[in-house]
Structures are given as C-alpha cells and as structure tokens.
A and B are shown apart, each in its own frame.
Chain A
Amino acid sequence: MTATGTAAIADFFDEDLAPLVRRMADRPRADGQDDDDNREIRSMVWEGLVGLGALDASDTVRLAELLGSVLYQGPLLDTLTARELVRGDVIGQAPVALAVAAEPWSAEDGAVSARRSFVGFATEVDYFVVGGVDTAGLRLALVRADHPSVTTRRYEETGRGEAYGVEFAGTPVTEWAGSSAEWEAALANARVRQAAYLVGLAQAALDHAVAYAKERRQFGQPIGRFQALAFRLGELSMHIDATRMLVHDRDAAAHAAANLAAASDLARTVTTRTMQIHGAAGMRSDNDAQLYYRRAAVESVRLGTPFQLRRESWETR
C-alpha cells in the first residue's frame, strides 16, 4: 500500500464512522444477544477496507496501527496473515480466520478434526486456516467455514466481542497451507501487526485520557493541571513512542515476540491508567475508557501471553 492508501483508510474512519467502528463488535451485556446492527456495520467496514485496497497493503504494520487506533474489530488482521500462507487465487478477497495451535489434531484422509479456542469472527469468515500437530509436525490446512462439520460457540468473555470456540469434525481440506517454517514467518509478521495494533489502541486510549484531563475539573481546576496526572500522561506518551519505534523498526520481525510482549504491557498499562484518570465515569458502558480497557485485555493476549512471548524470545535469541 502506498502512503496515500493508508491515508485513504484513515479518511474512511472519519468522525462519523469511528465511534461506530469502536463498538462494532461489542455486545452490551444488558441488551441481550442481538447483534444484527453490528454485523451490518462490520460487513460494511469490511467492504470499505477491501475496496480501499487493504488486502494488498504494502505497509501492513502502519495499517494495523491505524486499525488499533479506531479499535477496529473484524477478520482483516487474520486475513492478512492467511494471505501469507495461502495462494491468493484460492481465497480471492474472502475473509479468513486463524485457528492455529501447536496442539494435537487429526488430519488424515484429507479431513481435519480439531478443537480450537478463541478464534475471532468465526461466524463471519469464508475460510479458516486450521493448524495442528501430529507425527508430521505442525501443519496448516485451509478449510471452508460453511462446511456442516464446523460448529462454533461464542464465548462469554471480558471483551464481549466475537471470540469463538470452533470444532472441526472431519472438515475437508480445501488446500494444505504452508509449512511449519512458513507459519513461523507468517506468525512473526502477524505479531508485528498485532503489536502495531496495540500501539494504535494505546495511543487512542491516551488521547481519550488527555481530553478528559483537560476538561474535567476538580478542586477548582482541570485535573490535567495536577502534576501527578500530567507526569503520568507524559510518561505514557513516551512509552507509546518507544514501543512505536520497536514495531516500525526494520528489524521488527526478528524481535516479534519480545516486541509484542512490550506492546501488550503497554496497552494494558495505558488503558488501566486511562480508567483511573476517568474515575467512575470511565467505568460507564457509554464511556470508551472501559472499552479500551476490555479490548486491551483481549487483544494483548491474542497471539501469545506476554509470559510465553518473553520466554520464547529469550529461548530463540
């Protein structure tokens, strides 16, 4: 993608669309389970992003940061990773979800059987890239999502988003998709993008906190005038800056696990502080502070926990 391309997507998320995007996969607890309106928005956003060339982006890291800054939730990041593993002529511009785990599966006679947890947007994609381990080591397969052998269950979780447990019970393999080595490379790139997404999310949360610190008055002045708060906000801004350098560095993929752990810490720290600065108001369902906080919890452990990522990065250095 050219710089102009990213700019076009940034323009797409304008001030009318951005608030809808932030909540496009949030199902308020007290409002029941009906998600039709959000599904429509997600579908529209997908069409818009594909139309603007997001699937063929050359700077996907910058794109991911932009997506994080509007709290985009949908299959785009998984699809970008899948496209590194599967030939484009097979999936075209279809949305794909990753269902890969270094856990046992059965993959005999051209059909896979496995159970995969925390798969995003499982009911809205056309394909899954399923991964598993057997005597042949880690392998990946592309399967169609609409096959009757695929069943999904949405989790009740902190993020209130579209996270699913998916059961593949003898699902036919459409195509074998990438070797173990190719997965490692694709995973590293996915982690760089996830880290960039978290940097974008952290920046958006900080902007939300800063705006509130300027406006909210206690003890006769804007709370941002209290140095305790001002310094804390300044510090967060510097941490964001530092982590942004890591994820956009030329070397980022080589340090993908460590960088993602850092971005994970950053996102959870910034959003937790954003909550504190907002006081009880930030806990309200209609306030975005709690949305950033919940999304940071989910997004920061999507491709490994900081604990696993650091260990992995240390062992493979």
Chain B
Amino acid sequence: MMPAFTPEQDRFREDVRRLLREDAVRAEIAQARRVPYGQEPGLLDVHRRLGKLGWLAVNWPERYGGAGATIVEKAILTEELIRHGVPDNVHLLGIDIVGMAIHLFGTPEQKERFLPGLARGETTANVLFSEPDVGSDLASLATRAEPDGDGWRLYGRKIYNMKAQHSDFGLCAARTSTGPVNFSGITLFLVPLQSMGVVIEPVWNLSEERFDLVTLDGIRVGREDVLGEVDDGWQVLGRVLPLERTGLDHSAKAERTLAALREHAPPGCEQRLAQLETRVRAARLLAWRCVANLHAGRPDEVHSATAKWYTSETAKEVSAAAVELLGPRALLDARDPEAIADGVFDAALREAPGLTLAQGSSEIMLYFVATSKLGLPT
C-alpha cells in the first residue's frame, strides 16, 4: 500500500521536483538522450548536484554522504528521477545495488572507502554477476578466485553488465571453493575496474546503453575487498537482490511512458488508456508496498517478486501499447527532429525487453511465487 507521506516527505518530493525542473537540469537531461550513439553519459551534473545536497543516497547516514533519511525518501527520489527522464542505470547500479550492499554488509572500512564517493555522485559502481553461460542460474557461475598469498586473483568473464566503462569498481561474484552444493563457495568481491588485469569491451545491443564484456585476467583482490564472508556470497545475494526489487523504477517508467501516450493518443482509444492507467496505478501500489516493507524492517520476498514481475510486465505493456495506438510516430528516436515526446516511446520499446530480464527474470519471479507463496511442489 501507499505509505502516508509525512509533510516533510511531501516537501522533499517538491524540492526534488523543483531541482529537476530547473532549465539547466532539463537541458542536461535532454542532451543526455541525444548524445551520439555509443557515447552514453555516466554520472551527470544533476547527480553531483543531488549528491552535494546529500539527496542521491538520502537514506544513508550523513557520515557516508547521505542525509540520514529513510528508504521512503530514497524511493521518492528514485521515482522523481525516472519521472523526469534522468537516465537511471548509473544511479540504480551505484546506489541502489552496490552501495546498498556495502551499506548493509560492508565493514566500517569499506563503508568509509566506497560510500561517500557514491553518495556524492563522484564515483559509481556496477554489478558483475552474469557470465556468457550463466544468467538466471547464478549458482553455477564459473568465474574463479584463485588464492594468491593472503588474497586472490580473479579469472573469468562477466557479460551483460552495464556502465563498466564509467565505473570505479564492480561488485563481482566469483567462486572461491567448489563443493557438492553450487551456491556455497561463492564470494562477493569489490573489484577496481579501471586497472590492469581488467579488460572492458563494449557489447552493442538493442537498448540505448551498451553492455560490457569484462574479462578478469588475474586482477588481485585482498581480504579487505571481500563483501560479507568468504564462500558465503550467496547469503548476501539472497538479501540484496530482493531489496532492490521494489519495482519502483519500473512503475515510474510505465507512468512516464503512459503520461506521454495519454498526450499523443488519438481519440477513440480511451478504454485502452483507462485500462493501462489502472494497471500502472496497481504497479505503483505494489512497488510502494515493498518500500513500506523495507521501511518497517520487514522485507517480504513474495511481495518483492510480485512487484518486480508486475511492474516490469506493465512497463513492457505500456511500451507495446504506444506502438499499437500511435503507429510509426512512436518509433522515432529522440535524435530525430520529428520525434514526439522526446523519443520516449522508442526508448521505452528498446528498453522493455531488458526490464523483464534484469534483476531477476519474470520466469524466476513466477517460479518463486508459485513455490513460495502458493506452495506448489518444487
């Protein structure tokens, strides 16, 4: 359900909106969507502005660059960033996934080392989980960490990650030991990316942002770079992944595309628009239920899976409906002078397939709900 926002939280939302509507910020966002292909931006000035105010990771303690607020304020920020069209992957990866994992499981030294830079919008991080042969079945990953003195050297290939070219470090899952059970023996490392022993190559794809193939060729990591316990990365993954799955980013994307669709749809398709609107409202409620769970300290994996599935499938449906209702006009790229709604429909259509794959595919969410919620046999 939707939390009852406090007057302070409402004010925070207004403050964020005001900042995002400043001419210079809007110009930067519009520009970021029109850069030549292959030159996607990393952190923007708007991230640094928000970082300086302590808003980028607003729920982190002040000593780590946040404002000591709650997850509700963080969710408000995320929602407004996406509603205003700020490219969100760099923020999602750096703050919501890697930063949060460090915040929850890092040592005090790791928090000091990594969090302030992330929170100020000065550094960013990415996620190195998937491999050429490992997607949903993460427990079978092949990247190995070979003992080297009191540390390790990493060997393997990570693919379908994003923003490696802009990231200072990556959260990398690697195998430290093998045993009869696949998911034991995985360790999470915080790996510097812009260094010898790491090769980053672009993998061009459907979406606006490139994938990266990251080859780990013996980069050395030490005990101080392990997040959580050695061989126990699965526990961390099991706690962090559901936390990032509030679905709020997807519901905000669906809202943004639908708002543009409402503006441009021809007369006569009100029924379809009404149907989509209800669906998007439900998506937002499911997402905020997860935020409320986190705020209450009671994360609920079934709620997370439900929200992730419903919100991403909804965003996908809205993007498909835009083509169905608007026709070829919906397909114009932001870079085309005749593009409508800043090219939001083309961007949404090209982003849509990834929404139901990344952060846990729809199939994994469905399986989880079928088995954990409905109790169907595994």
* Residues of A in contact with B (beta carbons under 8 Å apart): 28-30, 117-118, 155-159, 163, 165, 217-219, 226, 228-229, 264, 268, 272, 275-276, 279-286, 290, 293-294, 297-298, 300-302, 304-308, 311
A283 touching B335, Cβ below 8 Å: no
Interface residues in B345-367 by Cβ distance below 8 A to A read 346, 349-350, 352-354, 356-358, 361-363, 366-367
When distances are taken between beta carbons in the complex, the residues of chain A under 8 Å from B325 are 305, 307
**Chain B, 152-174, contact with A by CB distance < 8 Å: what is the 0/1 string?**
00000001100000000000000
Contacts A29-B38, A158-B331 given; does A275 touch B336 at CB 8 Å: no
A305 touches B363 (CB 8 A): no
Let me know if A298 and B331 touch, CB within 8 A: yes
In whole angstroms, how far apart are the Cα atoms of A228 and B331 in the complex? 31
- The answer to whether B354 touches A283 (Cβ under 8 A) is yes
Mind listing 27 A-B residue pairs with CB under 8 Å? A29-B38, A155-B331, A155-B336, A155-B338, A156-B332, A156-B336, A158-B350, A218-B137, A219-B137, A219-B140, A228-B363, A268-B323, A276-B356, A279-B357, A280-B135, A283-B205, A283-B354, A284-B211, A286-B204, A290-B205, A290-B353, A298-B328, A300-B323, A301-B327, A302-B328, A306-B324, A307-B324
State whether A30 and B320 are in contact (beta carbons under 8 Å apart), knowing that A228-B366, A276-B356, A301-B327 are contacts in the complex: no
Give the docked Cα–Cα distance between A157 and B366 (Å): 33
Supplied contacts A158-B350, A280-B130, 14 more A-B pairs, CB within 8 Å: A29-B38, A155-B331, A157-B328, A272-B352, A275-B353, A283-B354, A284-B205, A297-B349, A298-B328, A302-B328, A304-B327, A305-B323, A307-B266, A307-B268
Contact between A218 and B316, CB atoms less than 8 A apart: no
Check if B333 is an interface residue, CB within 8 A of chain A: yes
Residues of B contacting A: mostly: mixed
B166 to chain A minimum Cβ distance, whole angstroms, is 17
B39's nearest neighbour on chain A, judged by CB, is: A30
* Minimum Cβ distance to chain B for residue A302 (Å): 8
Cβ contact within 8 Å between B353 and A285: no
Docked Cα-Cα span, A298 to B350, in Å, equals: 13
Residues of B within 8 A of A307 (CB): 266, 268-269, 272, 324-325
Query: Quick one: which of A28, A279, A308 contacts B361, CB cutoff 8 A?
Result: A279
How many residues on B have C-beta within 8 angstroms of the other chain's C-beta atoms?
50
Considering the chains assembled together, what is the distance between the CA atoms of A229 and B361 in angstroms? 13
User: In the complex the two chains form, is A290's CB within 8 Å of B206's CB?
Assistant: yes
Known: A29-B38, A219-B137, A268-B320. A285 touches B331 (CB 8 A): no
Q: Which residues of B pack against A, CB within 8 Å?
A: 37-38, 130, 133, 135-137, 140, 159-160, 202-207, 211, 266, 268-269, 272, 316, 320, 323-328, 331-333, 335-336, 338-339, 346, 349-350, 352-354, 356-358, 361-363, 366-367
Bound-state CA distance A65–B336 (Å) is 31
B333 lies within 8 A of A276 (CB): no
Q: Is A305 a contact of B324 with CB atoms below 8 Å?
A: yes
| 6 shortest interchain CB distances as A-B pairs | A280-B160, A29-B37, A156-B333, A156-B336, A275-B353, A30-B38
Choose one: A117, A157, A283; the contact of B353 (CB below 8 Å). Answer: A283
Closest to A286 in B: B204
The contact of B320 among A155, A163, A218, A272, by CB within 8 Å, is A272
- With beta carbons under 8 angstroms apart, the residue of A158, A218, A281, A302 that contacts B346 is A158
Indicate whether A218 sits within 8 Å of B136 (C-beta atoms), given known contacts A155-B332, A158-B349: yes
Say whether, besides A228-B363, A283-B354, A157 and B323 are in contact (CB < 8 Å). no
A301 in contact with B354 given A218-B137, A307-B269 (CB within 8 Å): no
A217 to B323, CA, bound (A): 33
Contacting pair B204 A305 (CB below 8 A) = no
Cα(A293)–Cα(B352), bound, Å? 11
- With a CB–CB cut-off of 8 A, which chain A residues contact B352? 272
Closest A residue to B362 by beta carbon equals: A276
Task: Specify which chain A residues have a CB less than 8 angstroms from the CB of B367 in the assembled complex.
Answer: 228
- Chain A residues with CB below 8 A from B202, complex form: 30
Residue of B nearest to A232 (CB): B363
**CB atoms of A30 and B353 under 8 A apart:** no
**Contact between chains at A283 and B268 (CB < 8 Å):** no
CA distance A299 to B61 in the complex (A): 52
Distance of A259 from chain B, by nearest CB (Å): 16
Give the nearest-CB partner of B208 in chain A. Answer: A29
A281 CA to B353 CA, complexed, in Å: 11
Residue from A219, A285, A298 within 8 A of B206 (CB atoms): A285
Inter-chain contact B354/A280, CB cutoff 8 Å: yes
CB distance from B354 to the nearest CB of A (A): 6
Which B residues are CB-close (under 8 A) to A276?
Answer: 353, 356-357, 361-362
